[in-house]
Amino acid sequence: MITKTFICDVCKKSVGEPELKTLSVLMKGIVSPSGYTSNQSASKDVCKECLEKRGILSLAPDGQKLDDVYAKNQKTLADKLIDILEDLGVAFTD
């Protein structure tokens, strides 16, 4: 028998696979003189509870249209993602 454990990278809590969402960030690297661009990506698993605590809803609450929830998520998504990435230890430099 094989048992798989899924752990949220933010709260370190064990959750079921359907409750886990993957956030992926693509970071563009330096362009070499030959024109080659190296891209790096980072993927972190975050549970729905952590996303909802930070204001990113994955399901529409009763009485709200799904389009309204999508519009709200799009408006605040950039700010919320930066907060989540900082919680995960991603450093931003200028």
- Decide: 82 and 92 in contact? Cβ < 8 Å: yes
The ranges assigned to domains in the chain are 6-87
Q: What pLDDT was estimated at residue 59?
A: 63
Please give the pLDDT value at position 89: 75
- Tell me the C-alpha to C-alpha distance, in Å, between residue 67 and each of 31, 49, 51, 56, 93: 39, 21, 18, 14, 35
For the residues 55-73, what does the mean pLDDT come to? Answer: 69
Asked whether 10 and 46 are in contact (CB, 8 A), the reply is yes
Q: Look at residue 61 in the predicted model and tell me its pLDDT.
A: 66
Q: Using one digit for the tens of pLDDT, what is the confidence trace for 35-44?
A: 777 777 778 8
pLDDT at 68 over 60: yes
**How confident is the model at residue 58, as a pLDDT?**
59
